[in-house]
């Protein structure tokens, strides 16, 4: 088992990661009857894509002796109605200022675009990924 989720009431859940004991609270967003005081489940889905991309790029970077510490990602989730679902996820990945070769850029971009979450999301969810080499 990976996690245990408890419904706390008021459209809020508590998810416990069983291996580490870490806890994530979710809240329904304000545009869907919630308080918006924590990540919504769809926020977590969009955020998971960026986190997975950075993790897999980190593995590739380590395997190819590329330093990417300090790389950041910003996430914008776009919702659709009827049915309510994630329509698109926009991610901007900002690399630290340093010289990267074209090969290094290609390795990292390929690693990010082929992370497990990216490959698991439904094809109807548009993934708008921008790699920003500052």
Q: What is the residue extent of each domain of the chain? A: 3-32, 41-133
pLDDT one digit per residue (tens) for the chain, 134 residues: 999 999 999 999 999 999 999 999 999 999 999 999 999 999 999 999 999 999 999 999 999 999 999 999 999 999 999 999 999 999 999 999 889 999 999 999 999 999 999 999 999 999 999 999 97
* CATH 3.30.300.20 matches 41-133: yes
Per-residue confidence (pLDDT) for residue 3, from 0 to 100: 98
Q: SS in 3 state form for the chain?
A: CCEEEEEEECCEEEEEECCCCCEEEEECCHHHCCCCCCECHHHHHHHHHHHHHHHHHHHHHHHCCCCCCCCEEEEEEEEECCCCEEEEEEEEEEECCCCCCHHHHHHHHHHHHCCHHHHHCCCCCEEEEEEEEC
User: Residues 125, 86: contact at Cβ < 8 Å?
Assistant: yes
Rounded to the nearest 10 degrees, the angle between the axes of helix 41-63 and helix 102-113 is 140
Per-residue confidence (pLDDT) for residue 78, from 0 to 100: 98
Per-residue confidence (pLDDT) for residue 98, from 0 to 100: 86
Q: Give pTM, 2 decimals.
A: 0.95
C-alpha span between 108 and 100 (Å, rounded): 10
């Amino acid at each position: 088992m990976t996690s245990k989720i408890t419904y706390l009431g008021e459209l809020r859940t508590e998810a416990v990661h069983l291996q580490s004991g870490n806890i994530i609270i979710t809240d329904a967003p304000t545009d869907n009857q919630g308080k918006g005081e924590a990540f919504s489940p769809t926020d977590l889905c969009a955020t998971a894509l960026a986190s997975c991309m950075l993790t897999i790029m980190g593995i590739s970077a380590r395997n190819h002796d590329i330093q990417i510490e300090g790389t950041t990602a910003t996430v914008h989730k776009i919702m659709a109605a009827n049915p309510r679902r994630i329509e698109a996820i926009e991610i901007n990945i900002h690399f630290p200022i340093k010289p990267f070769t074209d090969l290094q850029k290609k390795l990292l971009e390929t690693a990010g675009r082929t992370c497990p979450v990216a490959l698991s999301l439904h094809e109807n969810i548009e993934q708008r990924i921008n790699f920003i080499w500052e």
